[in-house]
C-alpha cells in the first residue's frame, strides 16, 4: 500500500526543508546526553574497544583452526606459532590459548550480563517497593540492606558455590543476588522523590493499584540512574567472577573464564609467559573500558554531578 498517499514523499520534503532551515532546532534530553558522551573521547574509544572484545569473543572462535577443548598432541607448552595455527601459544595440555582466551572472555561476558540483569531486577523492584510504600516497610527493608552491606558478601558467594556445586548458572545468579544492594539504595532514593510527583497522584486518583503504579509509572522513570549504575556493576561482576575462578571456585574445566586462565597462567608465568599475558591483557582492557563507559554515561546522563 506504500506510496498511495505519497506520505513518504511529503515527509522527505519536509525533512529537507528542516535541514536547510536557519532557525535553531530543539534538542531532546537524549540528544543532549549523546552529544556529551560523544565529546568524551575516553568513553567513545572504550565503546569501540568493548565492541571489538565482544566480537573477538563471540565471532573469533569461528576463524580459528583449533577449538578451546581440542588437544594438539604435537604442540604442548609451545610459544606462539603461526604455522601450527596457535597464534597465542598452547597450554600444558596442548590446547590453543587464543581459542581458550576467546572462550574465557565469552564466559566472563555472559556471567556479567546475566548477573547484572539479576541484580538490576532485584534491586529495582526492591528499591521501588521500599521507596514507594515508605514508613515502616521502608525502614525494615532498608535496614536489611544495611545489614547485608555490613557482611562480607564474597564469603557468602563462596559458601553458596561450595554448597550448591559449581554450576555456572548458579554462579551467575548467586553473584547477581548479592550485587543488588547499591542498586536498591539508588532506586529507593529516586522513588522517594518520584512518588510525590503529579503523575503518580493522577494514577492514584485513577484507581491504579500500587503494583501497577510502581511498574508503569515509577520504574520507567528510573531508567537513567539504573543504566548508569548497571554499567558500573558489569566490571565489578567480572571482577568477582574472575576472583572466584582464581580461587578455583568458578567455571570448571574444560570450560574456562578469564579468571581461571589467569589462575593457571600465573604460577607458570616465568616459563610460559604467554599463558598469563593474553588473558591478563583482555581482562584489564575490558575492565578499564567498561569503567570508562560507566563514568562517561554518568557524566552524560547526570550532568549535575560534574
Partner 1 sequence: MFGYAARRVLSALPVALIAVTACFFILRLAPGGPFDGERALPPQTLANLRAYYNLDLPLIQQYFIYVWGLVRGDFGPSMVYNDFTVSQMLAIGLPFTLMLGFTAFVIGTVVGLLAGSLSALYQNKLPDYVLVLLVMIGLVVPNFLIGSILQLVFGVYLGWFPAGGWQNGSIAHLVLPVTVLVLPHAGRTARLMRGSMIEVLGTNYVRTARSKGLGTRLILARHAIKPALLPVVSYLGPGLSYLLTGSLVVEQIFALPGIGRYFISAALNRDYGLVLGTTILYMFIILAVNLLVDIIYAWLDPKVRYN
Q: Is 54 in the site for partner 1 (CB under 8 A)?
A: no
From 10, 11, 76, 159, residue interacting with partner 1 (rule: CB under 8 A): 159
Q: List % helix, strand, coil for the chain (3-state, nearest 5).
A: 75, 0, 25
Residues 275 and 76 sit within 8 Å (Cβ to Cβ): no
Nearer residue to partner 1 within complex by CB, 21 or 150: 150
Q: Closer to partner 1 at the Cβ: 3 or 152?
A: 152
Q: Please tell me whether residue 191 binds partner 1 under the rule CB under 8 A.
A: no
Q: Is 139 in the site for partner 1 (CB under 8 A)?
A: no
Residues in 282-301 at the binding interface with partner 1, rule: CB under 8 A: 283-284, 287-288, 291
239/259 Cα distance (integer angstroms):
8
Q: Does 162 bind partner 1 (CB under 8 A)?
A: yes
Show the CA angle centred on residue 162, arms to residues 157 and 165, nearest 5°. Answer: 110
State the nearest-atom distance from the C-beta of 193 to partner 1, in Å: 19
Question: Is the four-CA dihedral 50, 55, 57, 60 of positive or negative sign?
Answer: negative
90/263 with CB nearer partner 1 = 263
Handedness of CA 71, 74, 80, 83 (dihedral sign): negative
Q: Which three cell numbers stand for residue 249?
A: 571456585
C-alpha cell at 239: 571482577
Q: Which residues bind partner 1 (CB under 8 A)?
A: 146-147, 149-152, 154-156, 158-159, 162-164, 235, 239, 242-243, 246-247, 249, 259, 262-263, 266, 269-270, 276, 280, 283-284, 287-288, 291
Amino acid at each position: 500500500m506504500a506510496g498511495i498517499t505519497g506520505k513518504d514523499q511529503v515527509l522527505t520534503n519536509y525533512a529537507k526543508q528542516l535541514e536547510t532551515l536557519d532557525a535553531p532546532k530543539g534538542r531532546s534530553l537524549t540528544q543532549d546526553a549523546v552529544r556529551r558522551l560523544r565529546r568524551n573521547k575516553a568513553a567513545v574509544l572504550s565503546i569501540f574497544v568493548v565492541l571489538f572484545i565482544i566480537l573477538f569473543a563471540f565471532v573469533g572462535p569461528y576463524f580459528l583452526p583449533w577449538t578451546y577443548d581440542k588437544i594438539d598432541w604435537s604442540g604442548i607448552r609451545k610459544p606462539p606459532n603461526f604455522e601450527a595455527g596457535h597464534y597465542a601459544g598452547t597450554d600444558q595440555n596442548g590446547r590453543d590459548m587464543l581459542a581458550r582466551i576467546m572462550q574465557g572472555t565469552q564466559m566472563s561476558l555472559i556471567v556479567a550480563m546475566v548477573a547484572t540483569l539479576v541484580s538490576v531486577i532485584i534491586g529495582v523492584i526492591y528499591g521501588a517497593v521500599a521507596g514507594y510504600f515508605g514508613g515502616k516497610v521502608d525502614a525494615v527493608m532498608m535496614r536489611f540492606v544495611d545489614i547485608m552491606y555490613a557482611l562480607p558478601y564474597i564469603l557468602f558467594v563462596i559458601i553458596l558455590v561450595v554448597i550448591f556445586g559449581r554450576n555456572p548458572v548458579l554462579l551467575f545468579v548467586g553473584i547477581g543476588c548479592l550485587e543488588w544492594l547499591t542498586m536498591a539504595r539508588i532506586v529507593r532514593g529516586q522513588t522517594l522523590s518520584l512518588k510525590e510527583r503529579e503523575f503518580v497522584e493522577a494514577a492514584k486518583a485513577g484507581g491504579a493499584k500500587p503494583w501497577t503504579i510502581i511498574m508503569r509509572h515509577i520504574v520507567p522513570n528510573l531508567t537513567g540512574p539504573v543504566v548508569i549504575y548497571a554499567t558500573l556493576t558489569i566490571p565489578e561482576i567480572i571482577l568477582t567472577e574472575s576472583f572466584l575462578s582464581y580461587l578455583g571456585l568458578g567455571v570448571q574445566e574444560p570450560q574456562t573464564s578469564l579468571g581461571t586462565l589467569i589462575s593457571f597462567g600465573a604460577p607458570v608465568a616465568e616459563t610460559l609467559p604467554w599463558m598469563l599475558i593474553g588473558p591478563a591483557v583482555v581482562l584489564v582492557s575490558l575492565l578499564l573500558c567498561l569503567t570508562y563507559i560507566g563514568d562517561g554515561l554518568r557524566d552524560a546522563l547526570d550532568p549535575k554531578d560534574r
